[in-house]
Amino acid sequence: MKTQVAIIGAGPAGLMLSHILHLQGIESIVLETRSREAIEATIRAGVLEQGTVDLMKEIGVGARMEREGFRHEGTILRFDGIDRRIDFPELTGGKAVMVYAQHEVIKDLVEARLASGGDIRFEVTDVSVHDLDTTSPSVRFRQQGGELQTIEADFIAGCDGTQGVSRPAIPKGVLKGFERLYPFGWLGILCKAPPSSDELIYALSDRGFALVSTRSPDVQRLYLQCEPTDKIENWSDDRIWSEFRARLATRDGWAPKEGQIFSKTVVGMRSFVTEPMQYGRLFLAGDAAHVVPPTGAKGLNLAVADVRVLARAISQFYKAGQEDLLERYSETALRRIWKAQRFSWWMTSMLHRFPGADEFQHKVQVAELDYVTGSRAASTALAENYVGLPFDALE
Ligand code: FAD
Ligand code: DHB
């Protein structure tokens, strides 16, 4: 079979790329190893930058997000038992973020693709990419244990996340990886309880980091810094709540609203970037090319920013025969990626307790938080990164 763009992976990157291309009259086929039910139920990120929100509305997939998401106009940084608020619109000329779960974004994109006749193949196996350095690359895959099938395409988009086949298919020596591992992870929970706060709380305590987020009026999302290879079995519900109470305690006796925990996951934390993000007619986007620690809430947003650049470059190729945007895809995307890497690394370093850290380090972190929340210049720097830096001009 033939298509214009073969897309590997139905995460935010692959689905959004397929949808934007469709709006430009460009055909694609999306291959996904998991089932529709599985991708629509995987709990991951929750914060959408202003630019992601605007893009979702612009491409016609924002209606449910506008109804059910929560616009947050600020966030709380909690340290030394006190709260300091960062006001986003005030510091960024009116921008804010939307708390709307990644799997809801996935549901909206799948529905939009299928409603307009989009071709998404779920539960495929044996996906491999070929002839990348020619103008007719191809992808092979198997569906429901059947024969190997081949898609001939003009371009392949590798949107298959950290464990995909696209990046490893690029010949050795072409890519350079940049990596930083962190000596901690996050334990994330979902619980049935009313919101503990109107806005997200990022807390540094001498016991480590904690984050209070939300999903709906009766489901809450909270995270705790833990060991990078910690096991969920080590975390009884009692231990989790007692740790949240201790790390989130304020001088005026604040405590989280507790409820039944129905999901617990541990994620490791790392920063990773691969350069370049293209080889011949294969273009990498999202987690396939880079990973951020979650503290800045940038992972999903960066995936969306990549495909915005890639979709534009592909559409210019078909509309005007122009290849320069394609050639500059990595360079354009990487400028934003490195800024988001810097912000995520900085937020992570400021808000976590590093193993072996002494009181000096803790006091420097507290001083930094005091400065960041006390200086308008420093608060603005945090706010403009958190709501998302402006997109670069695409031409
Ligand atoms: P993905 O969402 O990973 O999508 C890739 C898709 O490709 C998947 O559906 C996968 O099944 C599919 N695939 C893989 N291999 C193949 C193959 N060979 N063939 C076909 N399909 C394939 N970010 C935050 O900002 N905050 C968070 O709290 C947060 N929590 C996270 C928790 C977890 C457990 C993980 C893994 C990530 C988290 N992230 C978080 C990061 C964020 O979710 C990602 O940055 C985002 O999902 C990137 O989107 P993507 O489309 O590039 O990749
Ligand atoms: C959420 C995740 C993040 O990584 C973050 O920084 C804020 C909120 C969340 O899942 O709600």
- Scanning 24-170, the segments in alpha helix (DSSP H) are 36-41, 50-58, 63-68, 88-92, 102-115
Fold of the domain spanning 5-46+101-175+276-354: FAD/NAD(P)-binding domain (3.50.50)
Residue 369 confidence (pLDDT) above 60: yes
Q: Give 134-143 pLDDT, tens digit per residue.
A: 999 999 999 9
Choosing from 121, 160, 213 the residue with most ligand 1 atoms within 8 A of its CB, the one to mutate for a pocket test is 160
43 three-state secondary structure: coil
Residue range 36-57: mean pLDDT, rounded:
96
Is residue 294 part of the annotated active site? The answer reads yes
Query: Under CATH, to which class is 179-269 assigned?
Result: alpha beta
pLDDT at 81: 95
Residue 127 φ/ψ, nearest 5 degrees: -80, 130
Q: Indicate the burial class of 356 (C-beta count within 10 angstroms; 0-12, 13-18, 19 or more).
A: exposed
Specify which residues 249 forms β-bridges with: none
**Pick from 35, 36, 16: nearest CA to 24:** 16
What pLDDT band is residue 392 in, cutting at 50, 70 and 90? Answer: confident
Residue 145 confidence (pLDDT) above 90: no
Instruction: Determine whether the shortest distance from the Cβ of 48 to ligand 2 is under 6 A.
Output: no
- Edge-to-edge order in the sheet of strand 5-8: 119-121, 28-31, 5-8, 155-158, 282-284, 278-279
Q: Give 311-353 pLDDT, tens digit per residue.
A: 999 999 999 999 999 999 999 999 999 999 999 999 999 999 9
pTM for this entry: 0.97
Q: Which residue has the tokens 């081949």?
A: 150
Number of neighbouring beta carbons within 10 Å of residue 200: 21
Q: Which ligand is nearest to the Cα of residue 43, counting in written order?
A: 1
Specify which residues 83 forms β-bridges with: 78
157's CB contacts (< 8 A; 6+ apart) are 5, 6, 7, 8, 13, 14, 17, 28, 283, 285, 307, 310
Domain ranges for the chain, please list them.
5-46+101-175+276-354, 179-269
Candidates 12, 19, 22, 72; catalytic one: 72
Map 278-337 to HEC letters: EECCEEECHHHCEECCHHHCCHHHHHHHHHHHHHHHHHHHHHHCCCHHHHCHHHHHHHHH
Specify which residues 86 forms β-bridges with: 75
Alpha carbons within 13 angstroms on the beta-carbon side of residue 388 total: 26
pLDDT > 70: percent of the chain: 99
Please provide the average confidence, as pLDDT, over all residues in the chain: 97
Biggest CA–CA distance in the chain, Å, is 65
Instruction: Determine whether the shortest distance from the Cβ of 295 to ligand 2 is under 6 A.
Output: yes
What pLDDT band is residue 393 in, cutting at 50, 70 and 90? Answer: confident
Q: Give 219-262 pLDDT, tens digit per residue.
A: 999 999 999 999 999 999 999 999 999 999 999 999 999 999 99
pLDDT at 395: 52
Q: How far is the CA of 131 from the centre of ligand 2 (A)?
A: 39
> Omega of the bond prior to 228 within 30 degrees of 0, cis?
no
Q: How far is the CA of 355 from the centre of ligand 2 (A)?
A: 23
Alpha carbon distance 35, 37 (integer Å): 5
Choosing from 105, 213, 224, 352 the residue with most ligand 2 atoms within 8 A of its CB, the one to mutate for a pocket test is 213
Number of neighbouring beta carbons within 10 Å of residue 62: 21
Residue range 60-73: mean pLDDT, rounded:
98
Is residue 386 part of the annotated active site? The answer reads yes
Residues in contact with ligand 1 (CB, 6 Å cut-off): 8-14, 31-34, 39, 44-45, 102, 127, 159-161, 163-165, 267, 286-287, 294, 297-300, 303
Q: Give 97-135 pLDDT, tens digit per residue.
A: 999 999 999 999 999 999 999 999 999 999 999 999 999
Contact 287, 274 (CB under 8 A): no
Is residue 2 part of the annotated active site? The answer reads no
Q: Give 12-29 pLDDT, tens digit per residue.
A: 999 999 999 999 999 999
Q: For the chain, how big is the Rg over CA atoms in Å?
A: 21
Q: Give 168-202 pLDDT, tens digit per residue.
A: 999 999 999 999 999 999 999 999 999 999 999 99
For ligand 1, atom 35: residue with the closest CA: 44
pLDDT at 394: 64
Q: Is the ipTM of this complex over 0.95?
A: yes
